[in-house]
Structure 1
Amino acid sequence: MVVVQNLLSSAFKFRDGQVYLAKSTQALPIRWSRTLPDGCRPSTLSVKLAPSGRWSVSLLVDVEIEALPKTDNQVGIDLGVTSLLTLSTGEKIANPKGFKAKYRQLRRAQKSLSRKQKGSNNRHKARLKVAKVHQEITDARKDNLHKLTTRLVRENQTIAVEDLAVKNMIKNRKLALAISDASWGELVRQLDYKCDWYGRTLIKIDRWFPSSKRCGNCGHIVDKMPLNIREWDCPNCGMHHDRDINAAKNILAAGLAVSVCGATVRPEQSKSVKAGAKSPSGTEAET
C-alpha cells in the first residue's frame, strides 16, 4: 500500500532550491531527479511512502511547455509481446520483460517471506525485500517506457496506435502475465499526454480493425490469422508479409484516413477516434 500525503503551499517552504516542511528547521535530503524550471515555485507538494520503504517527493509547478518543431514523419505502432513495438518503418523494438528478468530473485524472496512467523521482525525484513524487488521491476519498466515514448514523440508528428482493451485481454490466464509485463496501457497513456504536451497528434484505431489479417498491398482480408503465424503470403496478390510490420503499416494507413477525412475505417463497425475521445467497450479481436 502506497501512503500519499498532499501538502499545500502553507505546509512547506521552497527556499534556495531546498524543501522545508512545516515546523522543520532541516531541509529534506532530496536527491533530485531533475531541476525545476527557472522562475517556477511549487504550489503543491506530495510525499509518498512506497511499500519498499522508499520516500519520494513530487512538486507541482505551473509552467508552459513549448511545442516541438513540426516534422513530416508519421508512424504506425503495433503492440506485441515478443517485440514490444513494431513500427511501420520496419523497426522492431524488443520487449525487455522486466518481470521475467527478476523472477528468480522475486521467487527466492517470496519463499523466504513465507517461512517467517507472522508478526515477527524477520517477517517485516523479508517483506521489505519482496517489496524492493517489485520496486526494481516497476522502476525499470517505467524508465524504459518513458525513454521509448519520448523518442517516438520527438521523432514523429503523427502516431497511430490500436485502442486495445487491455483489461479484457489480461483475463486470458495464458497471456495475462506477458501482457501485464509489457504494460501496453501505460505506454499508450504516456504517448497520449506527451503528444498533447508537445503538439503531436495521437490517433487511436478501433480495436476491431483487422490490422494483422489485412494485406497492406491489395487490401485483401484473410479469414483467420492464428498467433503462431508470424509471416504469411497474401492469397490474392501473393505479397509476402511480416505479420507485425504489415499490421503497423495498416494501422498507420487507417490512422491517416481517420485524420484526413474524419471518417471511420470500417463504417459498418468501426468507431476509430482520435486520442482523448471516449472509445467503446469491448475485447480485442487480434494481436
Structure 2
Amino acid sequence: MREPLRFTGKIMSVTVSRVADRWFASVTVDTEDAPRCRAENQGAVGVDLGASTLATLSTGEVFAGPKPHTALLKRLRRLSRSLSRKSKGSRNRAKARMRLARLHARIANIRRDALHKLTASLTRRFHTICIEDLHVRGTPRNRHLARSIADMGVTEFRRQLQYKAAMRGGWVMVVDRFYPSSKRCSACGHVMEEMPLSVRRWTCPECGTTHDRDVNAARNILANGLARLSGPTASSAEPEACGEKDSGAPSLCLVRETASMKQEVRFVPV
C-alpha cells in the first residue's frame, strides 16, 4: 500500500472487503486515546424523526434528508428488470448484476454521508439531545411508511448519535415511544384525541396556538427528556453503552463519558 496511515501506532490487523466492484482495506491500528473534543453546549435540543423529513429540531431547524432510494428508484427498477432478463451464467448478466450493485452502493453511501454530517453537527453543537424511541421494526408492516422510514436510516441515525455523543461527553435521552409528542400542545399541554399523519399544521382548541406538527413534537420530546433527566428516574438509570442494550422496550438512555465508544470505520481504497 502506497498511502501512508492516518494514525501512528501498532498495526493489529487488515481486513480486505469488496463493495460492488471496489476493493477496500480496513486497517486496525492500536493508538493512544485521542483528546476528546467537548460539545459547544448550545443547550439541549429535541429531535423529531419522520418519514417526510429526516429530522426536525425543537429550534425550528428542518433537515430534509437526501432520500437516495426514492430519488434513484426509477433507475433501480430499470436495472433490476434488465438483470432479470439476462440469461443465467452469461457475461451480460454479470455486467448487469455489477451495475445494480454499484447503484445500491451509491444509495448506501449517500444515506451514510448525510447521517454522519447531521449526527456530527448535533453532537458538536448540543450537549443534551432528546430523541424518540421509534418502533422501527413495526414500520415495514405499514405499506405507506415502510419505504420512507427505511430510506431515512432511523436506526443508523440513533447508533451514530449515541457513540458520537459519548465521545464528546454528551447525553442522549430516549423518550418513551408511547409519549404523545405530536398530539400534545407544547404551549398548554392539551392532548388531542386524534391526529392523522396528513395533518401537518394544527391549532390547539384550548390556547389557540398554531403548531407545525414536527416542530411541536420536537419541543415536546425536549421537555419530556429534560423532565426525565432531572427527575428521580435519572439517578437510578444506568448509562446505555452506545446501543449495547436491546432498544425494543421503552427506556431511558443516558450516554456519558464512561460509555463504551465505537470508532468510525475508515476505509482505504487499494
After TM superposition, the score normalised by the length of structure 2 is 0.84
**Pairing 1:59–2:27 present:** yes
In the alignment, is the contact (CA less than 8 A) between 2:51 and 2:145 conserved in 1? no
Q: 1:49 deviation in Å?
A: 1.6
Alignment of 1:223-262 (within 5 A): 223-262=193-232
Matched with 2:150 is 180
Q: 1:80 deviation in Å?
A: 1.1
Q: 1:233 deviation in Å?
A: 1.1
Alignment partners' CA distance in 2, 1:148 and 1:132? 25
Q: 1:226 deviation in Å?
A: 0.6
After TM superposition, the score normalised by the length of structure 1 is 0.79
CA RMSD of aligned residues (A): 2.1
With over 3 angstroms needed to count, the CA separation of the structure-2 counterparts of 1:235 and 1:84, relative to structure 1, is: same
Q: 1:236 deviation in Å?
A: 1.5
Alignment of 1:1-287 (within 5 A): 28=1, 36-37=6-7, 39-50=8-19, 52-62=20-30, 63-70=32-39, 71-263=41-233, 275-276=240-241, 278-281=246-249
Alignment partners' CA distance in 2, 1:215 and 1:235? 10
Q: Which runs of 5+ in 1 are unaligned?
A: 1-27, 265-271, 283-287
Q: Give deviations 1:62-115, integer Å, cap 9, x for gaps.
A: 341433235242110000122111000001111211012212222221121111
In the alignment, is the contact (CA less than 8 A) between 2:53 and 2:64 conserved in 1? yes
Secondary structure of 2:10's aligned partner: coil
Q: 1:42 corresponds to which letter in structure 2?
A: I
Secondary structure of 1:61's aligned partner: strand
With over 3 angstroms needed to count, the CA separation of the structure-2 counterparts of 1:204 and 1:248, relative to structure 1, is: same
Alignment partners' CA distance in 1, 2:238 and 2:176? 7
Q: Give deviations 1:98-146, integer Å, cap 9, x for gaps.
A: 0122122222211211111001111111100000000000011101111
Instruction: Name the larger-Rg structure.
Output: 1
With over 3 angstroms needed to count, the CA separation of the structure-2 counterparts of 1:166 and 1:273, relative to structure 1, is: farther
Percentage identity across paired residues of the two chains: 43
Alignment partners' CA distance in 2, 1:194 and 1:278? 19
Runs of 4+ in 1 over 3 A off after TM superposition: 272-282
Q: Which runs of 5+ in 2 are unaligned?
A: 251-270
With over 3 angstroms needed to count, the CA separation of the structure-2 counterparts of 1:72 and 1:174, relative to structure 1, is: closer
Of structures 1 and 2, the one with the larger relative CO (CA 8 A, separation 6+) is 2
Q: 1:57 corresponds to which letter in structure 2?
A: A
Alignment partners' CA distance in 1, 2:229 and 2:37? 20
Secondary structure of 1:263's aligned partner: helix
Q: 1:279 deviation in Å?
A: 4.2
Q: 1:198 deviation in Å?
A: 1.6
Alignment partners' CA distance in 1, 2:46 and 2:239? 14
